[in-house]
Amino acid sequence: MSILVIVLSVMFIYMVYRYIVIIRQLNKVCAILDYIKDGNYNRKFLLRGNASVVNLCACLNNFLERYKNIDSRKCYLEQLRIRMITDISHDIRTPLTALLGYVEALSKDSSLTEQEKLSYLNIVNEKGIALYTMMDDFFELTKLDENQELKLEKIEITEKVRHVMTTFYYDFIKENIKLELNLPEELIYAYGDDKCIERVLMNLVSNSLRYGKAGGVIGINVSEHQDRVWFEVWDRGGGISEKNINFVFERLFSAEGSRNYTLRGSGLGLSIVKELVVRMKGDITVTSLPDEKTVFTFYLTKIE
């Protein structure tokens, strides 16, 4: 009987000891949490002993790492929001001010020649188109943010590409740019949204016209491999620097030097392209050797 009492007493003492140890460890966890909640994310949970406490620490460390990334992303998005407001104000005010100035000159300056009036009207038209394009991009991005469902269906690709390129015919003539089309002779079908595929191609070609026209050539390649249809839109213009290439699909991203309004777009075209391609179950990448070749490559699911 005395042996049983001794065994039970030892077990009780051990259990009390383990309880005290676990309580101390949990208090340390709470102390670390209090330290972290003030924004000190470099602190880690490093406790040994009880397996459950060790597992809890591992889970908390994983959670902390994810929360740290989320917080960093939140700070980045807040900076982006502030920059967006500034850029939107600038990018709308600049062409609008110019447009109003030319309209005022047309209405009040009686000394203008017919040729000057025609030139001013062309400028007003260009500024109006720029404003319309910018607002159209913002409207498209708003629709994407609302997570509206795309109408994914079987789309014939080669004819779609030809149709899109015809809309740029006069742009290529005006800028003296050679177009290189490399399309399969047979029909190719892909899974996508008709309007979205058109928007993606138009945005990519417009981007090449804006930033790559100095190379004198713009190309589109379409090919198929296994269960995918691959698209390449390329040019031989100035290209994208290594430090900027990872950010080209970010909203409102503009590389250095693009504050020149004659070259600058809305900063949304490529982010719209990325969003649309992903929603059509594809993906897009970009590679660039400045002054040699810049290639935007994306794929969609092939349908027989």
Q: What is the three-class DSSP state of 224?
A: strand
Percent of the chain whose predicted confidence (pLDDT) is above 90: 23
Q: Are strands 153-156 and 189-192 parallel, antiparallel or unpaired?
A: antiparallel
> What is the rounded average pLDDT of the residues 48-74?
72
Which residues are 230's β-sheet partners? 223, 299
Q: In angstroms, rounded to a whole number, what is the distance separating the alpha carbons of residues 292 and 135?
A: 33
Predicted pLDDT at 263: 41
Q: Is the pLDDT of residue 229 over 80?
A: yes
Residues 273 and 293 in one domain: yes
Residue 78 covered by a domain:
no
Residues near 282 by Cβ (< 8 Å), separated by ≥ 6? 192, 298, 299, 300, 301
Residues 126 and 164 in one domain: no
244's CB contacts (< 8 A; 6+ apart) are 253, 255, 256
Where does a domain end: 109, 128, 145? 145
How much is the pLDDT for 78?
77
Residues 168 and 269 in one domain: yes
Whether the CB-CB separation of 208 and 236 falls below 8 Å is answered with no
48 pLDDT exceeds 60? Answer: yes
The Cα 304–Cα 298 span in angstroms is 19
Main-chain phi, psi angles of 296, to 5 degrees:
-100, 120
**pLDDT of residue 212 exceeding 70:** yes
CATH code, 195 = 3.30.565.10
What pLDDT is recorded for position 129?
Answer: 76
Total number of domains constituting the chain: 3
Concatenated DSSP letters of 75-137: HHHHHHHHHHHHHHHHHHHHHHHHHHHHHHHHHH-TT--HHHHHHHHHHHHHHHHHHHHHHHH
Q: State how far the Cα of 31 lies from the Cα of 43, in Å rounded to an integer.
A: 11
232: in domain: yes
Q: Verify that 295 and 163 share a domain, yes or no.
A: yes
| CB-CB contact of 173 with 213 (8 Å) | no
Q: What's residue 10's pLDDT?
A: 66
Q: Are residues 138 and 166 both part of a single domain?
A: no
Those residues whose C-beta lies under 8 Å from the C-beta of residue 272, and which sit 6 or more positions away, are 137, 140, 141, 144, 199, 203
Q: State the sign of the Cα–Cα–Cα–Cα dihedral 280, 283, 287, 292.
A: negative
pLDDT digits (tens, 9 = 90+) for 154-177: 999 999 999 899 888 888 988 899
- pLDDT reported for residue 300: 95
234 located within any domain = yes
Same domain, residue pair 297 and 207: yes
> 288 and 225, same structural domain?
yes
11 in the same domain as 62: yes
pLDDT of residue 287: 93
Stated pTM of the model? 0.62
Query: In CATH, what number is assigned to the domain containing residue 136?
Result: 1.10.287.130
Which has more confidence, 140 or 304? 304
Same domain, 25 and 137: no
Q: In this structure, is residue 33 part of a structural domain?
A: yes
- What tokens does 116 get? 């000057």
Q: Between these two residues, 299 and 47, which has the higher pLDDT value?
A: 299
Identify the pLDDT of residue 103. Answer: 86
- φ and ψ of 287, to 5 deg: -130, 150
- pLDDT tens, 235-264? 999 888 888 888 888 766 655 444 334 444
Same domain? For 57 and 98 the reply is: no
The whole domain housing 121 covers 84-145
* Same domain, yes or no: 185 and 101: no
Model pLDDT, residue 8: 65
Question: Is residue 79 assigned to a domain?
Answer: no
Q: Is residue 53 part of a domain?
A: yes
> Are 71 and 41 within 8 A, CB to CB?
yes
Q: Alpha-carbon distance 2 to 130, whole Å?
A: 95
Query: What pLDDT, on the 0 to 100 scale, is given for residue 144?
Result: 66
